Amino acid sequence: KGRKSKIRNSTLNIERMALVPDPPCMSNLSRQQNAMIDENIFGGLKDNEVSTGTTIMAVAYDGGVIMGADSRVSTGSYVANRVSDKVTKIHDRIFACRSGSAADTQAVTDYVRHYLCSHALEAERPPLVSTAASLCKRICYSNKDQLLASLIIAGWDPVDGGSVFAIPLGGTCIKVPFAIGGSGSTYIYGHVDNTYKPNMTKQECTDFVQEAISRAMQRDGSSGGIIRLVVIEQDSVDRHYITLP
């Protein structure tokens, strides 16, 4: 009988606790925490934010690198620019593919271009691709809470030849044989993993980049326009553009 009365009293206490509302500060805090969890896990957008998208790619071969990107700049469902150039020159033989916020990536590449020009004058030699990637990494990592910038740094230098560095969101810097980025890249990871093979020729790399970006543009609504290709070698930098039917 005593055990039953204790159980009944504890049940009443639990029901009373359930009826007591949370303090206002705790309720607001829990709502904010839930909103942050939803945003981080489910990819929700903050107020006044719009989704952006692109497809960028670079691959190294014996003698140089080939970089490519689509040309569509989107702000949500609105196409702000159909023929943007997302392959930006940083130095004579070093370029950057930009994805994320156009303003952020333009600011980062402008700073890196300035630093590289000063470095080349002081060293009296062309800068290394790894130096450009390290500068981008430092800027992106130091400002990772304020920037929405994902970059691919690639080019040719006398030390490493053709090389590619991937700098995703957050500022990590990784040297890779090829790299893809942007919203369109999620559609072609299987394709590039299956198609890429080491020691490809220049023509094979060109076809590889062109086909991968065209497949991404066909499936990603935020990628489109034309395909811009940049071929960087020791003695030349050639730009091409390809229109799709």
- The Cα–Cα gap between 58 and 134 comes to 17
- The Cα–Cα gap between 101 and 51 comes to 10
Q: CA distances (Å), 211 to each of 101, 111, 139, 230, in order? A: 25, 32, 32, 15
Examine the residue annotation and report whether 75 is marked as an active-site residue of this protein.
no
- The Cα–Cα gap between 147 and 169 comes to 8
Tokens of 182: 């942007």
Q: CA distances (Å), 232 to each of 138, 156, 170, 171, in order? A: 24, 7, 27, 24
SS3 21: coil
SS3 49: coil
* DSSP 8-state assignment for residue 186: G
Residue with tokens 């740094």: 153
Among the listed residues 54, 55, 88, 131, the single catalytic one is: 54
Residues annotated as catalytic (active site), given as ranges: 54
